[in-house]
Structure 1
Amino acid sequence: MSENLKTIRELSDELGVSKQAVWQKIKRDSSINLRQFTSKKGNTVYINVDGQKAIKSMFLDKMSTENRQREDKVDDNKKEHVDGPGEVDFLRDLVLELQSEKKELHKLLDQQQRLALQDKKLLEEYKTEIKDLKALTTQSSIDKQASVNKQSDVEETNHQDTSKSKKWWRFGK
């Protein structure tokens, strides 16, 4: 492939714009004849040197007009700021108002952080209480089970004793 040909992607990277922007510029501008400056190999479109120059000039013209418009806006803003002492007073008042609002927001933020900390402490206390209650309930259930086991053991031994005595009594008859 010739070194003079570039793809749409290479040209867009060089100009710092998207590939779609280059395509739209080619399609919209009637001064560029698409077939005259491009060749297609497979799915890739290549642009020759003349087409590259034409596309670059279109983008550079657009960028230079945008820069001029920005400079004009900056000049207009500078002219507006030279109005006089009335505007300075207004801006001072505005700054003071913003500072007071900022102080209020800091107070609210501090309050919110304190409340969040209190909530966290309460949650920790509740968690420990729940753990203690669970431990008590498990301990009480273990104690109940042990007492039930003891009772059943006592009943069993009583039953065995009574059954032995009956059997012994029968032998004696």
Structure 2
Amino acid sequence: MAAATRLFADRGYDRTSVQEIVEAAGVTKGALYHYFGSKDDLLHEIYARLLRRQQERLDAVAAAGGSVERRVREAAGDVVVTTIENLDDAMIFFRSMHQLSPEKQRQVRAERRRYHESFRALIEEGQKSGVFHDGTPADLVVDYHFGSVHHLSSWYRPEGPLTPRQVADHLADLLMRALRP
């Protein structure tokens, strides 16, 4: 996975061969195909592992109790931090998702939809309770925040002036200010 991620990030999914992946990983093609049925499966798993981690963390935040404002802020920041911590995975996905098989694309969309619906449920909870204003539809709020997250790989640099946590705090603060009545 690490070798494929590095190669896909540097060269692109379509310009990386299975042979280059196995050589970089120091394994045989047989070993690769033991774990992954195809290069398509490998690309899908790169993104799926990040999304699984983010979904688990979001589920834990949502279930933790406490104020909805705290949970939304924590969830909003966490998706930024975990995306930055896995920036190559995110970049590969957004550059290459269209190259997945139609079935894998449907799977990814369903996984992403589940994540977005969980996040949206938190926004709606805050809107229904009056903690957040309800003038903006929750779906639009979610799309706004995740639009920012999806573009992190185009501008965030680890050697830059902001740490992942600082970026997360700034973006979460922007979201929270937009939600307040």
**TM-score, normalized by length of structure 2?**
0.22
**Going by fraction, where is strand more abundant, 1 or 2?**
1
Structure possessing the higher relative contact order (Cα contacts under 8 Å, 6 or more residues apart) = 2
TM-score normalised by L of structure 1: 0.23
Computing the radius of gyration from Cα coordinates, the structure with the larger value is: 1
